[in-house]
């Protein structure tokens, strides 16, 4: 895994090249080939001497992601991609297409940062499979490069990345931020920081560390409940970092960065889609620069809860909006192809 070329920053590529007696400018050519031309094999790097291409092929892997399966939704707008890693573990990436009228279509990659997850959220398929290992920064970045390459072949461009797939991104903080920095590099994919969203279940020390980065990367919090008793029953991490600590960290982030915090809320019928929870949420987030995304629960085999109804979702949204809290109801995507994070890979990692 450490020999994956996507694990390297430009300076590290340059250091390797100079140790081989190659000029420093070759590093920029390699970087451009990886992230601008989206080349996937050393043979494609025709800007390099043949001898150097052979050296690169010998010293580095140009992919850790072996495509195993692609599931396409019936409307063609959601692709669930299963990759096999060199150690036989499986991860998944979701590519979502949003056709827009009178402007460029939006294409969003939802990427993984870990094989499995240690957070144990009760309704999440990834949490149900447990933690296997962290992904390297290169394995995280390569998922985005793969999606960008697929879209480029169709004359399209990747517009957004959400770090919201398998795993807890802030549990793998350095690798996650390292991958985004490479993808954000002006000589690379050159994707602006605001095109990235990192979603966390609420690792408070990591949120405070992220606040100090003063980044323009978007922050999303998987909240799902507005009181400690209910949230702890759904997200065990709440026992370690209860709501008052989490909200305090989010308020500090919004205050210091002037960036809005998005709160994710999976609506479970009769559990957290009630008027009581809506009013508690209004009170919890009052005065914060915040937006709430609600989505009916994606069902998983090991969680008995059911998705809320459209009527209950609209009622929940109405309470928030009436009290000045912006709220969007998101459509569930790819239910029939197991597009909820961890649903496909969970069956592969046994």
Which residues make Cβ contacts (< 8 Å) with residue 190, sequence separation at least 6?
A: 184
Verify whether residue 124 is a known catalytic residue: no
For residue 82, give the H/E element and its range.
strand 78-84
Could you say which of 121, 124, 250, 341 is catalytic? 341
Strand order in the sheet with 261-267: 66-72, 78-84, 90-98, 106-110, 160-163, 196-200, 218-222, 261-267, 290-296, 327-329
Of 2, 11, 348, 12, which is closest to residue 175 (Cα–Cα)? 2
Could you say which of 14, 22, 92, 142 is catalytic? 92
Verify whether residue 252 is a known catalytic residue: no
Q: How long is the chain?
A: 350
Number of H helices, E strands in the chain: 12, 12
CA distance 129 to 193: 31
Q: Is the dihedral of CA 67, 172, 161, 292 positive or negative?
A: positive
CA distance 275 to 328: 16
Write the DSSP assignment of 194-218 as a string of letters. GGEEEEES--HHHHHHHHHHT--SE
Q: Residues with catalytic annotation?
A: 92, 341
């Amino acid at each position: 895994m450490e020999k994956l070329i996507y694990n390297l920053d430009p300076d590290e590529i340059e250091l390797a090249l100079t140790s081989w007696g190659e000029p420093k400018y070759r590093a920029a050519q390699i970087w451009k080939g990886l992230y601008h031309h989206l080349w996937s094999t050393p043979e494609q790097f025709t800007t390099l001497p043949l001898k150097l291409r052979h050296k690169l092929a010998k010293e580095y892997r140009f992919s850790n992601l072996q495509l195993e399966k692609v599931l396409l939704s019936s409307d063609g707008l959601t692709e669930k991609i299963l990759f096999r890693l060199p150690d036989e573990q499986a991860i998944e990436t979701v590519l979502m297409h949003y056709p827009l009228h009178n402007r460029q279509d939006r294409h969003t990659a939802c990427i993984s940062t870990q094989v499995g997850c240690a957070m144990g959220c009760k309704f999440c398929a990834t949490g149900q499979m447990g933690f296997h290992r962290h992904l390297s920064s290169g394995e995280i970045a390569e998922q985005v490069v793969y999606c960008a390459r697929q879209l480029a072949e169709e004359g399209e461009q990747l517009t957004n990345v959400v770090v919201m797939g398998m795993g807890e991104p802030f549990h793998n903080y350095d690798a996650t931020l390292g991958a985004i920095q490479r993808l954000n590099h002006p000589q690379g994919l050159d994707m602006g920081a605001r095109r990235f969203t990192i979603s966390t279940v609420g690792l408070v020390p990591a949120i405070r560390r992220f606040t100090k980065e003063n980044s323009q990367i978007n922050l999303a919090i998987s909240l799902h409940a507005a009181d400690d008793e209910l949230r702890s029953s759904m997200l065990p991490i709440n026992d370690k970092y209860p709501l008052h600590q989490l909200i305090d960290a989010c308020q500090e982030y919004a205050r210091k960065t002037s960036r809005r915090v998005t709160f994710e809320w999976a609506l479970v019928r009769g559990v957290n889609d009630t008027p009581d929870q809506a009013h508690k949420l209004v009170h919890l987030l009052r005065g914060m620069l915040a937006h709430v995304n609600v989505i009916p629960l994606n069902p998983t085999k090991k969680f008995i809860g059911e998705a809320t109804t459209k009527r209950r979702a609209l009622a929940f949204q109405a309470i928030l909006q009436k009290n000045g809290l912006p709220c969007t109801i998101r459509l569930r995507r790819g239910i029939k192809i197991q597009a909820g994070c961890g649903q496909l890979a969970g069956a592969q990692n046994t």
